[in-house]
Amino acid sequence: MSTGVEPRGSLHAEALRQELDWLEAVLELRFKQHFEQQPFALAALAPPALLAGSALAELVAQYGLGARERLLLALAMAPHLRPAALDLFFVKNRNFDRGFSEFGGIKAQRHGGFLPSGETAAFLLAGEDLAARLELLNLFDAEQAFAQSGLVVLEGEVGGEPQLSGLLTVTAEALQRLQSGVWHKPDYNAQFPAKRISSQLGWDELVLAPEVMDEIEIIQSWLRQGPALMQDWGLGRAVKPGYRCLFYGPPGTGKTLTATLLGQSAAVDVYRIDLSMVVSKYIGETEKNLARVFDQAQSRHWILFFDEADALFGKRSATQNSNDRHANQEIAYLLQRIEDFPGVVILASNLRGNIDEAFSRRFQSMIYFPMPDATQRLQLWRSLLNQPERLADDIDLLELAEQHELSGGAMVNVLRFAVLQANREASSQLHARHLQQGLAREMRKEGRTL
């Protein structure tokens, strides 16, 4: 029996159906105008009324989308939701036995449909009107709200070719939201070399020296009030937007956790880019993929965390051949993107000396994360071993902290191994021997002995 209440998914689908029906009507009108040489005019085909509560209505309101932006979005969605609507663009120019240049786009390799480009959008929205074409180009300017929204992008621009030759693509996140009403956050893949990081720990579990915490609080102040302070004090003209900092120190001393907690305290996402994983593939495609990360980060106010930063921001190599020259040019490009990024960028390295001096000068903060001293190690052990009933009487945490110099990350490894050993013995408690075995194992990894 029907309840008379439509599922919200049906509401999203109906809103998209109406939008795609409108796109097909616009296509029919434009083709008629084009082939019958009628004056270019689309004003008579107003977009459909938005369905209240649909994801489309929410996006239109959130980003202030007008009719042009909505038509662009519908055109970009068509290959995913109604590919047959674009088959009209396969008509051939009989004079040249090929497609029409003004239609743009390409034939897809797999599903056989038509993939629209910026030129396709210009055909729909501008025709031969040069002023309208320039207005369309302006929509894709990085400073414009539509471009910053990250809903539709021009993909695959080739150097030397017109800007509008890039394919018109709806982002996976936008498509998911329009279909389901849920905005999924992007995750690591071949086209998006960044991963969102989070932690169940809080500031109480982070044990750092007072002087380090003081530096961290300055970054927190910037996250809360930085841009407003620059405006209030009149520094906006002289100070570049954004905040760049370097975290350096031995592995396991809290650099990644600190970056994560900074994001949590400011209610923004932190995305980690592990450059050691992409640097070998950096020349070429990865540059565009990293640019995509920056574009989304800017519109969504993410913190960008570059782990193992010396893999790319280290001292640049001497130019021996064209590959070296190209690699150095790509690095310089990324350095410029970081310098111009209006948000917070954190670079992490084990050694400060590994970072190129030319870039070091551009940091607002350079924070050293030292190995914890005995007092801090005792705090860390107590925080990690927070169930006293699980500790056997032969465990002396004070002695453990004083005798073994370990980072917080190494302590976690020791405890994990000790718990596994206790479990193998069917013991409900940790004994000193379990921790000693874990310590010996961790020391061997570092080339040390107990």
Q: Mind listing the pLDDT tens digit for each residue in 124-177?
A: 998 888 998 999 988 888 777 788 787 898 876 556 788 889 899 998 888 999
Give the side-chain half-sphere CA count within 13 A for 87: 6
Lowest mean pLDDT among 188-202, 306-320, 340-354, 435-449: 306-320
Confidence class of residue 285 from pLDDT cuts 50, 70 and 90?
Answer: low
* % of the chain exceeding 90 in pLDDT: 51
What pLDDT, on the 0 to 100 scale, is given for residue 153? 86
Strand partners, 93: 98
CA distance 64 to 57: 10
What pLDDT, on the 0 to 100 scale, is given for residue 155? 79
Comparing 342 with 315, the larger pLDDT belongs to 342
* For the chain, domain boundaries: 8-180, 195-368, 374-445
Please give the structure tokens belonging to residue 341: 């990024």
Q: Which CATH architecture has domain 374-445?
A: Orthogonal Bundle (1.10)
Confidence class of residue 4 from pLDDT cuts 50, 70 and 90?
Answer: very low
41: Cβ contacts below 8 Å, ≥ 6 apart: 33
Give the number of residues written for the chain. Answer: 450
Q: Check if CATH label 3.40.640.10 holds for domain 195-368.
A: no
- Res. 279: pLDDT tops 80: no
Please give the structure tokens belonging to residue 6: 């439509």
DSSP string of 80-123, one letter each residue: HH-GGGGGGGG-EETTTTEE-GGG--EE-SSS--EE-BHHHHHH
Lowest mean pLDDT among 208-212, 332-336, 368-372: 332-336
Confidence class of residue 1 from pLDDT cuts 50, 70 and 90?
Answer: very low
Confidence class of residue 5 from pLDDT cuts 50, 70 and 90?
Answer: very low
Confidence class of residue 3 from pLDDT cuts 50, 70 and 90?
Answer: very low
CA-CA-CA-CA torsion sign (348, 350, 351, 354): negative
Confidence class of residue 363 from pLDDT cuts 50, 70 and 90?
Answer: confident
Q: What is the pLDDT of residues 186-245, one digit of tens each?
A: 777 666 788 999 999 999 899 999 999 999 999 999 999 888 888 888 887 778 888 999
Confidence class of residue 314 from pLDDT cuts 50, 70 and 90?
Answer: low
Other Cβ atoms closer than 10 A to 173: 18
Q: Are strands 106-107 and 114-115 parallel, antiparallel or unpaired?
A: antiparallel
CA-CA-CA-CA torsion sign (390, 394, 396, 399): negative
Q: What is the pLDDT of residues 395-406, one digit of tens each?
A: 999 999 999 999
- Res. 275: pLDDT tops 50: yes
Query: What is the phi/psi pair of residue 274, to 5°?
Result: -90, 95
Q: Determine the average pLDDT of the residues in 274-295.
A: 68
What pLDDT, on the 0 to 100 scale, is given for residue 318? 53
DSSP string of 363-399, one letter each residue: -SEEEE-PPP-HHHHHHHHHHHS--GGGB-TT--HHH
